[in-house]
Amino acid sequence: MRVITGTARGRRLETLEGLDVRPTTEVVKEAVFSIIHFRLPGASVADIFAGSGQMGIEALSRGAKRAVFVDQSRASLQVVRKNLQTTGLAANAQVVMDGAESFLQRVHETFDFIFLDPPYNKGYGEKLLPLLGQALAPEGLILFEHSRDEALPDQVGGLRKIKDYRYGKTLVTSYTHEESQL
């Protein structure tokens, strides 16, 4: 797994091994960043269920000003920190050890982009989508990776679905605020 483009282009990222780990594929990552690349410079992003941190690191490499990496796994966060050092992007990053639900209930800042890649088919959409609106900037965008077998609502908690992007067995569903012009 490598950083696709930007200041850290080509740098190899580490990931955890094991059955509990399912990194975002290169195809999905490339597609997500092709959707948002014009709006990324200067943006603030949150990478929730960060794993290796590849989504937030890719955003920083492409010009995001700040990224917050959230995961409840100490081992995952060690990998995130190592990857931030390897890419030279640690100065613009904050690493938070917390569960997604707890973080979203307590966060007092907003993000232009929120990336979520939770374990598939565990009901995280139902639990987290109602909380995401308060953490999303007014014209912000949520990019929620999930199994195509897991249906997410069209509207929830002041958010509206923009589009589902299908990549094999994976869907990335984008959301914004109901009143947003996106």
Residue 92 is part of which domain span? 26-177
Q: How many domains does the chain have?
A: 1
The model's confidence at residue 10, banded by pLDDT at 50, 70 and 90, is confident
Two structure tokens written together for 147: 């199994």
Tally of CA atoms within 13 A in the half-sphere of 55 that contains its CB: 33
Q: What does the pLDDT look like over 146-182, one tens digit per residue? A: 999 999 999 999 999 999 999 989 999 999 999 988 7
Asked, for residue 13, whether it belongs to a domain, the answer is no
Asked, for residue 6, whether it belongs to a domain, the answer is no
Give the residue from 15, 26, 16, 12 showing the smallest Cα distance to 86.
12
Which CATH number do you get for residue 92? 3.40.50.150
Asked, for residue 16, whether it belongs to a domain, the answer is no
Q: What does the pLDDT look like over 85-140, one tens digit per residue? A: 999 999 999 999 999 999 999 999 999 999 999 998 899 999 999 999 999 999 99
- Cβ neighbours, 10 Å, residue 174: 19
Asked, for residue 97, whether it belongs to a domain, the answer is yes
Asked, for residue 67, whether it belongs to a domain, the answer is yes
- Indicate the SS3 state at residue 149: coil
Enter the pTM of the model.
0.94
Q: What does the pLDDT look like over 21-51, one tens digit per residue? A: 566 778 888 999 999 999 999 999 999 999 9
Residue pair 1/13 in contact by the 8 Å Cβ criterion: yes
Q: Which residue has the tokens 């997604």?
A: 100
